[in-house]
Each structure stands twice: as C-alpha cells, then as structure tokens.
Structure 1
C-alpha cells in the first residue's frame, strides 16, 4: 500500500490544485501545497498522530490537520469532495499536462469552457487560445508537446512507486508457508526509469497459498487474471503486478528469463541454441533429448552453462554486455555501498522540509564519510535566500562538523544558472563554499545554441564543481532542455566539472544513454539524492541504478572517492 504520508500528501496537493482552479485565495493554495510537501517528507507515520502532533509538522495548521484527521478517520474529506463535484473531471485532467498547470487550466475552463484534453486540442487547432492574454503560438506549441509527453508516459509509474509496491509484496509472499524464493524481476530489476507493470517471481511446490495471498489481500483493486501458476492484479493506485510461481529447480532460468530485457534474452537463447541447448523460463534443456541440463537454482549457473559470467541486471539491454562478458571485460559496477557521501541536498532554509540537524543525523545513520548541504542561492527569489542566511548556515554546519564520528560536513550551494550562463554570487563569495552545484531552473525553452552556451559558460566558471540535473527534465512532466550535449560534455571534461546523476525518481537526470555518451569524453559524475527531506536521502539507490545501467564504476563517480581525493577535485591546487 502507499505510505500514509504520501497518500495524504497527494490528497492535499489535489486540494491545492482544485482550489487554484476554483479561484481560491493564493495564500491558501500555497499553504496546502507547502503542507503536502512537508507531510510527504516527514519521517514519522502521520496515520498514528493525534491533532497536536500533526500541528507540529511544519506548515500544518489547524484547518489542514482537521482535514488530514478527517481523511484518516473516514477515508474522505468533505471539502475536497465538494471541490471535485464543482470542477469537472476533465478539467482536473488538464492539471497533469506539462506546461499547463492549475492556473492556466482554470483560465481555459472559466474563459473558454474547456473541460477536457480533447476540447483543449480542438481549441488550439481552431486558434481559440489566442483570444486569451498570455496564450500565444509558443504556448500552444508547448501545451501540445506536453499532451504528447503525457500520452507517451501513459500508464507507466515512477521507479520508486513500483519498487515500494514490489518490495512490500515480496516481503508479504516470503512470509507465506511453502514460499522458497521470491523477488521482483522485469524492468524493475533492471532499474528502467519508468515501469509499465511489475513482475514478481516466486518458487514453491504448491502455488495455491501464494496465489491466494496475492489476489485476496490489499492493495488489490482488481484481479485481472488468475491461474495455477500465474495471476495478475491491479492495485488501488493503478499499478499492474504479475506473479509467476515456478518450481525451485527452475528458479535460475525463470529469474533470468523474466528479468529480460527481450533483446538480451534473444541473445542468450541464441547462444544456448548454438550450444545444442534450449533456454526458457522453465530451465536450460538439451535440445535433442529435452533433458534438464541445469537443475541448480541460481541464475549464475545458467550463465555459466552458456560460457558467460553472471551479467548484472541493469546491463541486460543488448548494448554490448554479451560481448564484454565473453571477453571477461564486464565493468565492476558502482554500488550503493561504494557511495561515501551525498553532494546535493536541501534543508528547510529554502525549499526542503527537514531542518539541517535532521538531515545531518540521517546522513550519519546512512554511514556516510562526508555529507554536503547545498541549499538554493538567491537567484531563485521564491526561496528567499540571503547572504546573511547562508553565512549563518555555514556557521551552524561548522558547529555540527565532527558531531557524528566518521562523517565530515561540507557547506555548499545549488546555484541557479541564469539565461546567459551566469550564476548567483561573485567569485569571492563562492570561494567560501566547499562545493557548488549549478543547475538550470528557469527559461527551459531557450533555443539550442543559447542553451548550449548557457551550460558551457556554467562549466567554465571556476567555482562550479557539478552541473545539477543537467537536462532539467521531469519524467512525464517536462522534456529535457534542447542543448548540444556533445558540446556540453566536452566542456565538462575540459574544465573538470562533474555531471550529476540526480537520483530523484522524478528526474533521473542524466539519463543512462546520456551518461554513456558523456563517459566517452572522460567526464566524471556525482550520484546525488537532491533530497528535500531526511526521508528522501534513501532515494540515492535510484541514481545508483541509473549509473549501473550506464556501465559506471566507482572510479567514474566522485562521491565514491575518499574525502582527500574529492577535495582535490573540488578545489584543485592552483
């Protein structure tokens, strides 16, 4: 099931959006949006909180707390239901279109009566949007692109959503008597950035009890299909999950088969065929006698019988992994345990929801050797950062440095890369930071030449160490900026500027394909969480998965390095 905090946060965000469409006061819209972020990032389970404890969560006042308690008690909120009745479902769908949002959706609804995506497309083609101030040809183009982006994303979910559901289910199935093995497989095991459906594989002599648990307990919304060894469900949050149960003797072959990818499996079946074998989800067999060749239960044995070493799942995309395996040249992939520290995180000083002390304590619990605080700089006025605030934070960081044995603290900033490539603060002020991340946060639609030059100029700034979420994409919400990435990657290599692999499942930026290209230029990378709450520091795993898909080793990733080596990279001797 969804984490109660995330479930309530989604509810409050919906209330905020509907208030905006309905013409609610701006301060109230912002209050519910802020409360949604705070509850999502709060470490404690809000479903067990009383009214007083709820109001202690930053941004949660009495009115919001009352609505949260009403939802937890009854499963609904009367005020939200009233807004849902007032605003047609089609208008609510418009909010999800990238480049639109609640305010523009409200304008379209109130001024033109547009109440569905289909009506919006028709109005654009008829030129009706140009009757409204602020809706020109470029806006129409952006909205149409956003609609196409939404259609492409379709029913797919973000990686973290699928992973959480899969891990909950695997844990539940492992507790069923007779379950010998259970794990997730498919694209989720390969850390693909979005997931269409989740494959879960189990081994048991008697599948019945597993199928009963799978189809009859929460979070099942619908049983799509059920059978003796395969069943499919749709969860209450719309995710399709398929369960397959195999005998233990077939476990290794089944896990290899159901992990995929399809292209990788075609290659392994071809290799088996050339060796006089047949490989399927049921096992590895002699092609002539149909006798089971591999009766061992591990995936490694299947690959060994094909004269290959075990190939890590994130590499199984038929992008050269078979050839590298044959030559015994598979990379020693970076792992989460290799990461010594996080170099891009936020606190409640700007747009985070956890105080500095909580972020530092959670980082220490993760066993980091170093940890950087990088709140936003003044270039984004909504975060209200000032020179005085950042100096005071630096003093507090210095006070906390050494409070957790074995972990050093770095004070940094996430700078905004302006339209011309300039960043916040002059060089003499920036020299006071231990690490500077620079990111694009505005003017996403600059022409290709201008965007390329903007990013290159940021790389050339001697104080910029890392380019954060380099293409600025939001998966399913905002496309990557249009830039000549070859030129940007050349600049990063030339200036010794690392590129971030932003682990937020909404970003996963850089993409694995871009990382593969950047590595050819000799670029280094930083896998960072971009966490805005202590809870989200654990999301680093998704960035590591993306790095693995791109064949990166620990040496490629600067925050696997010892602190003394990292410091030389961040501030090389002149």
Structure 2
C-alpha cells in the first residue's frame, strides 16, 4: 500500500520514460522526472491537495498538477493512458530489466521483435544483438546481469515497501474488538533487505473477525486461502499476506516461531529436544507429560531454553544462540541510540527541501547534532561552486543551536574519482566539519584499480566516512568489484568510518559486509542520505541493518556524544591515529 505521494511519483516517472521512448522532447521528460521526485519527497499527502496546492510544490506546474488531480479523481490519467497505448506490451516488459533503458528496449522490439525477457536472454546467447547500433559485448554483459538481478529478486520487494503494507494491516487489525496482540513477523521483523511475503499474527479468542477483515481490505486484490487458522491474500501490488490467529496463551511461542529464521528455529528446537522439551508455534512442552511450560511471551520461551531474549534481527543462526548461552549476546544499537544524522542533502544540490526545513525536521526527531553534506563540484549536474558552499556554511553557522540546542555540522559529500582523488584540495577541505566520500561513477573499473581508488580516499586525512561503500542498488545494480577486506583494514588503520546507508534501495553496507568489517575494528555511521524530509525516517532501516551486523553503540560513531564524535572526525590531522 504505497503512500499517495509514491503512487504519483511512480506514475510521473513512468510518463517521463514513455515520453523518452516515443521521441518526445527531452526537456519535457526531465520536467516530469523532476516533478516525480518533488512529489515523492513532499511531506504532505498530495491526495489532499487541490491543483493550487500542488503547484506550490517546486517543479509542479499547471499541467502536471491537473494530471495529479485527475489521477486521484478517476484513478487514471487519460494522456498517460494514450501514451501507454503507443508502446507495445513487449517493450514495457523489457523496460523492467535493470540496466536496460527504454530506448534500447524499443530498438530490440522494433529490430529483432524481442518482446520477453527469455527471448532477450536467448538472443544475447546467440550473439544477435551485436549488429545493432549502440549494442556490443559490454552492453550484452550488462543486460545479462540485469536479467540475473531481476530473476534473483523474483517476487521480493524492498523492506520499506513491505513495512508500509504491514504496518497498515497491523493498525487495522489491532482496532478490531477482541484483539489482544497484533504484529508482523517473518523476514520483515528480522529486517531483511527484501521481503517475499508478509506474515501477520493476531492473538485473539475468535479468528473470524480478523480473517474477514483481511479479505475486505481495500488493498486486497485476491483471496488465496480463507480459513479459521490461516488466511492468505494477494494485494493489488502483488504481495502475498499470510494471517494467522492464535490463542493469547500461545502468543510468544507463535511470534518466535513465525519470526524465524528457519535455521534459527531448527537450532532452538534442537536445544529444546536436548532438554527433554518440544518447541512449536503453540508453546514449549514437556516431552513426556505434554505439559506446557512456556508460551505466553518470547522472553519466557527463550528463558526456559537457557537463553536471553534474542533480538529478531540477530535470528539468522550466525552464532547468536552460542553467544546467548555464553552470556555474550551484544546489546545491539537501537534507533533511540542515534544522536544525529551525518549524511543529508538540501535543495542546494539534489535535495528537495531548503536547509532551514531539513534542520527543523531533524530537530523534531530529537537529534543532538545534524550534518548537512551537499554534493561537491565533481558531480557536475549539481552545479556546486566554492561560493555556494561557503554561503551555505555561513547560514549553517547562523542556525547552529537554534533548534532545541541541536548542533549543526557543515559537511560535504565528495565524489571519489577513478584515481581516488576528491573534489576539493586539502586547504579547502580543512574547514569542513566532516567529509563523506562516495563512488558515483566509473563503476566498471577492474578489481585492483577499484580497490586502489577507495583505499586512496580512505587515506585522505579529510575524508571521514565512505558513503554507500559498495554503490549497490538492490535489485537494480550490483556492488562494485573491490577487495573489501583490504578496504576494511585500511579504514580501521586510518580511522575512516564506513557508512550504513539507510536508503531502502541501498542498505549499503549490507549485513554480511558489516560482520566482516567489524572483525577488522572498523567504525560505522548509520546515515539516511536523506534528499527530502520524509527520508529522514529511513533511519530505521539503516539501524535494522546495523543490528543484523551485530553492531553496538561503540561501533557506530553517530551514537557518540558530540565531543567524542569531533575527536574521531579529526582523524590523523591531530598528529595521532583516531
């Protein structure tokens, strides 16, 4: 159940793509792309705005506002439907492939009559694309990788999209008479980066009101199973939702069981068997007598097995049970531990909100400090200049401490060039409070060159954080090829933090890389990379990923008091290792 803003964002972005495919004016396509981003990042529900209110959003003109109003009035936009009709279905199927742009998709259809993913894969294997203008071996390899990404993703969706749907359902079911508990479980509760389906649990004496309510939700497109113990539906966005209603006395056991993971559950059941017990979704029972000994809460079930309560994000059978038995389970970082966001953008570059609005929104989140890190000049499309960034710094200093005494840090997001160089010289970088450095281009460098590139950036005394280190976009772009073990070692040596970027399509570093980097002694920054006010709330996904990497507050620099953080940010400039 996407937010209305996100529905419109997707619609306008699709229209921009359709304009590009059909040979429309490039400036018009760009205008719709800009409006799509502006509406997607707007903090107000645009379905409640009239045309005049919509036109107050930067980048939204009269024609676009009218289309948005038409969409919410009728559920469709006539001009977009007409443009869709001009594009064969086969082309639109090909456009779904990551790495394949709309114009290439149209060329494949018109020149080779390719209209499906399987046909395209077969054509590449037969080397039929190489005679087409704009195609070659490298293009073929990129498309094949895009097909692989698509197939790997299958029916899985991003964590954030699943969370929105789950929370809507939980809110609805929690309001029904007789509900004693309601929660989502499964891979969503474990905060995995993608989710295949939703598991929803309810504790109640009667199941029928909840089963019926799920089938009657506006977002329910198809009922797959409707029964007293389990009901499954498919939403209009294609996500399967499985609802189970259990007796309140079994709530804890059911929540533990349906949260998983499968490997974690096998391990806990093995512990139970060794103790002469049987563990199921109904409770923990004595094997011989059948007496139930624990079930009402998860903590009760774990305690009877000789374990502390294990956070859901750790339940992947990656040593959490052994650590619990030894009394060494980490106190993982929580969202409440985060004292500030160290990577955000304003409308000075590619953000959607002015500096003052971003600062106000950050202060409302209760932060002790907050960093503004707009792009540096090597990202040429952002049109940054020395004068612009210095003027912003002056304004940041003026606002410092004005909002609930929140301290402001003036930073920048530097671009790591192919040789590891960054945008500004040392004498200019010296006056920033912090510098995030990220790879934004030349993703195809060889492994050795890419490793040298990142290592050189880490060794820069003014680079504090490596932003979205692997550059991956989940389901759309693979991470860069580099020797990250070498990178991790250099980060630990130089006092350079690695970012856990909380954007839902990044979550970069991912949990497995975090676990490896932690072994080297690396420190981390959990940042939103927010380009709009709503994106500040993405922090929860970064924290969930940090938890999956077993991180504590000692590992995460933006949980530290400002004085300790500033000491870390001085890096080696103070004449000693951080």
CA positional deviation for 1:112 = 4.0
- How do 1:41-190 residues align onto structure 2 when only pairs under 5 Å count? 41-190=41-190
Structure 2 counterpart SS, 1:514? helix
Deviation digits for residues 338-373 of structure 1 (CA, Å, limit 9, x no counterpart): 000000011111111111111111100000000001
CA positional deviation for 1:79 = 1.1
Q: What CA distance in whole angstroms lies between the structure 2 residues aligned with 1:153 and 1:438?
A: 29
Q: What CA distance in whole angstroms lies between the structure 2 residues aligned with 1:268 and 1:431?
A: 53
CA contact (8 A) 2:90 2:109 kept: no
User: Which residue in 2 is equivalent to 1:344?
Assistant: 343
User: Which residue in 1 is equivalent to 2:421?
Assistant: 422
Q: What CA distance in whole angstroms lies between the structure 2 residues aligned with 1:365 and 1:462?
A: 33
User: Which residue in 1 is equivalent to 2:525?
Assistant: 526
User: Which residue in 2 is equivalent to 1:288?
Assistant: 288
1:384 aligns with 2:396: no
CA contact (8 A) 2:284 2:294 kept: yes
Q: What CA distance in whole angstroms lies between the structure 2 residues aligned with 1:561 and 1:437?
A: 18
Q: What CA distance in whole angstroms lies between the structure 2 residues aligned with 1:462 and 1:134?
A: 42
User: Which residue in 2 is equivalent to 1:466?
Assistant: 465
CA contact (8 A) 1:95 1:102 kept: yes
CA positional deviation for 1:239 = 1.1
Q: What CA distance in whole angstroms lies between the structure 1 residues aligned with 2:70 and 2:354?
A: 28
Q: What CA distance in whole angstroms lies between the structure 1 residues aligned with 2:58 and 2:83?
A: 25
CA positional deviation for 1:227 = 0.6
Q: What CA distance in whole angstroms lies between the structure 2 residues aligned with 1:502 and 1:476?
A: 16
Aligned-CA RMSD value: 1.1
Structure 2 counterpart SS, 1:182? strand
1:454 aligns with 2:453: yes
1:202 aligns with 2:199: no
Structure 2 counterpart SS, 1:333? coil
Q: What CA distance in whole angstroms lies between the structure 1 residues aligned with 2:554 and 2:284?
A: 37
**Shift in CA distance, 358/111, structure 1 to aligned 2, threshold 3 Å:** farther
Higher deviation after alignment, 531-540 or 399-408: 399-408
Q: What CA distance in whole angstroms lies between the structure 1 residues aligned with 2:422 and 2:375?
A: 11
CA contact (8 A) 2:474 2:506 kept: yes
Q: What CA distance in whole angstroms lies between the structure 2 residues aligned with 1:102 and 1:258?
A: 41
Q: What CA distance in whole angstroms lies between the structure 2 residues aligned with 1:294 and 1:113?
A: 62
CA positional deviation for 1:538 = 0.5
- How do 1:130-529 residues align onto structure 2 when only pairs under 5 Å count? 130-295=130-295, 297-529=296-528
CA positional deviation for 1:507 = 0.3
CA contact (8 A) 1:419 1:443 kept: yes
User: Which residue in 1 is equivalent to 2:560?
Assistant: 561
Structure 1 unmatched runs, 5+: none
Higher deviation after alignment, 520-529 or 386-395: 386-395
Deviation digits for residues 299-351 of structure 1 (CA, Å, limit 9, x no counterpart): 10001111111111111101001110001100011000000000001111111
CA positional deviation for 1:134 = 3.1
CA positional deviation for 1:432 = 1.7
Q: What CA distance in whole angstroms lies between the structure 1 residues aligned with 2:215 and 2:283?
A: 27
Structure 2 unmatched runs, 5+: none
Q: What CA distance in whole angstroms lies between the structure 2 residues aligned with 1:484 and 1:444?
A: 14
User: Which residue in 1 is equivalent to 2:37?
Assistant: 37
CA positional deviation for 1:102 = 2.2
Deviation digits for residues 228-262 of structure 1 (CA, Å, limit 9, x no counterpart): 02101111111111110000010011010000000
Structure 2 counterpart SS, 1:475? coil
Q: What CA distance in whole angstroms lies between the structure 1 residues aligned with 2:105 and 2:400?
A: 47
CA contact (8 A) 1:90 1:117 kept: no
CA contact (8 A) 1:272 1:278 kept: yes
CA positional deviation for 1:285 = 1.1
Q: What CA distance in whole angstroms lies between the structure 2 residues aligned with 1:504 and 1:166?
A: 19
Structure 2 counterpart SS, 1:429? helix
CA contact (8 A) 1:8 1:36 kept: yes
Q: What CA distance in whole angstroms lies between the structure 2 residues aligned with 1:292 and 1:278?
A: 9
CA positional deviation for 1:291 = 2.0
CA contact (8 A) 1:18 1:92 kept: no
Q: What CA distance in whole angstroms lies between the structure 2 residues aligned with 1:359 and 1:325?
A: 41
Higher deviation after alignment, 59-68 or 88-97: 88-97
Structure 1 counterpart SS, 2:529? coil
Structure 1 counterpart SS, 2:224? strand
Task: State the TM-score, normalized to the length of structure 2.
Answer: 0.98
Structure 1 counterpart SS, 2:292? coil
Deviation digits for residues 189-242 of structure 1 (CA, Å, limit 9, x no counterpart): 110110000111110001111111111121101111111021011111111111
CA positional deviation for 1:384 = 1.2
Alignment: residue pair count: 573
CA contact (8 A) 1:20 1:106 kept: no
Structure 2 counterpart SS, 1:373? strand
